[in-house]
Every structure is written in structure tokens, then in C-alpha cells.
Amino acid sequence: MNEFRLGILVSGRGTNLQAIIDSIEKEELPASISLVISNKIGAPALERCAKHGIESQFIDPKDFSNKDEFDNAVAELFYEKNVDLICLAGYMRILGKSFIKNFEGKVINIHPSLLPAFPGLHPQKQAIEAGVKFSGCTVHFVNEEVDEGPIILQSTVPVYDSDNSDDLSARILEQEHVIYPRAIILFLENRLTISGRRVLCKNK
């Protein structure tokens, strides 16, 4: 098993999780996935873990009296696994301040828009309604503000006049699968430095 350990948070299909798994299995990404945690029972992402022999766990937020208790339980599991980086892959919960502070600079997310444009929910729909000609996806560090952390990588796709949200989502998703593993590689190679709102990337 590779020394660099990933912890991944999911809620749904897990296509970005699959992209990370594929990159590891192709030996492009020199890492291992120590644990995948889902806040949704029966999430297809968990089936992907079973197929690839990856440890996964469903944790029900309803079993906790408040958000902080849930976040603390998740954090404890990642501590036990000594994870080096936490990746949000379609995780539909907002992480609390204490969680982010405890893993400061070690949590990243991918969002289907060119941030800072169209944060939050339904960014593809927002892009189409705004009439933009280009959209895309962004990998960023997670901070206490939703979708406002320093940007690591972005990829651009065209927005066509005939597009609906599903069309644009599919086009963006293809690029998500490319840049998310790439961003993880940059992190594990210690090439990223956060400088205020910017992420500086050193040459290899």
C-alpha cells in the first residue's frame, strides 16, 4: 500500500471517487484510499468501494444531536486512518468550522463551475440562465465559506445555446474526472502553497 493516504467524503454516485480509484489503479496517482465515508445510506459510491475492496462506512447524521457531533465522529475516523488529505467527492454537507480547522489545508473539493462564479447548488443551471459562453469546474481548498476556498485547478468547457443543465453537467463532469486526480498529485508532491486567496504551484 502506498504511503500517501486519502480519506474521501461522498453522498451520491461517486463518479469523482471512481476517477480517483482509476487513477490509483493505473499507477498515475501514487496514493491509497484509506477510508470512504458517506452520509447517505445506499449511496452508489459505497458500491464502488465494495467492488474495489476499499473500506467504506455509512454514518447517519440522524444518530447525532448536532452537526458538530457528526463532524467530530467523521474526523475521528480519519484520524484513526492517519489520512494525509480529505477529498470531497459529491459530498452534500457543509463541513463545520472545527472540522476545517482540525484539517486546515488538507481538505479539497471539486465544484462544477468556474469559481467564484456560480457557487452553491445547481451551478450548471445558474450558468445557463446567466447566458455565459463558457463554464467548467474548479478544484479548491475548503475553508469556512461555501465554495470560496483558494483555487488549485480549473478546466473550461463551452456552453452551447442548445444546452440544458444535463448537457452541460455531462460536459463538465468529464473535466472533473481529469483535474481532480491531477490536483491530488500536485498536493502530494508538495507543490502547492496557499498565499492569501491564491494557490501557488511550484514547478516539479
**pLDDT-based confidence at residue 1 (cuts at 50, 70, 90):** very low
Q: Long-range contacts of range 22-28, CB-CB < 8 Å, 24 or more positions apart?
A: 23/181, 23/184, 25/52, 28/181, 28/185
Beta bridge partners of 51: none
> Quick check: pTM over 0.85?
yes
Catalytic pick from 52, 111, 122, 140? 111
pLDDT per residue as tens digits for the range 143-189:
999 999 999 999 999 999 999 999 999 999 999 999 999 999 999 99
Q: What is the pLDDT of residue 204?
A: 79
Q: What is the pLDDT of residue 63?
A: 97
**Domain ranges across the chain:** 1-104, 109-204
Residue 190 class from Cβ within 10 Å (0-12 exposed, 13-18 middle, 19+ buried)? exposed
pLDDT per residue as tens digits for the range 104-156:
999 999 999 999 999 999 999 999 999 999 999 999 999 999 999 999 999 99
Cell of 152: 488549485
Fold exhibited by the domain 109-204: Rossmann fold (3.40.50)
Fold exhibited by the domain 1-104: Rossmann fold (3.40.50)
Same fold, 1-104 and 109-204: yes
Please confirm, yes or no, whether 122 is among the known catalytic residues. no
Of 38, 15, 40, 19, nearest in space to 29 by CA: 19
pLDDT per residue as tens digits for the range 63-101:
999 999 999 999 999 999 999 999 999 999 999 999 999
